[in-house]
Amino acid sequence: VIAGQVGVNPQVEIGEGAVVTGQAGVTKSVAPNDVYAGTPITRLRDWKRERIAAAKLPELLPRIEERLARIERAQAELSEEES
């Protein structure tokens, strides 16, 4: 099954029973009996994980920046102690 607005490169094979969701970009051959989404194409379960992780990035960014600042401060303190 190939849903609407799907782009398929020439020379790729779509396996028997494979499902390609709408607006996907098929850039490589896909295995039979699996569901695919996204551009470039990926298995639907992996695509969902990627989307969930991407949605969490804005809330994680301040924590990452704070930890990087702590590391930089610790490195500066170590450098001062070694001098």
Give the pLDDT band (50/70/90) at residue 44: very high
Give the pLDDT band (50/70/90) at residue 1: confident
Residue 39's nearest CA partner among 63, 82, 83, 8 is 8
Whole-model pTM: value is 0.65
18-37 mean pLDDT = 94
Residue 83, pLDDT score: 76
Give the pLDDT band (50/70/90) at residue 56: very high
The mean pLDDT of the chain is 93
For 36-47, the DSSP string reads: EETTTTEEHHHH
Cα dihedral value 64, 57, 30, 34, nearest 10: 110
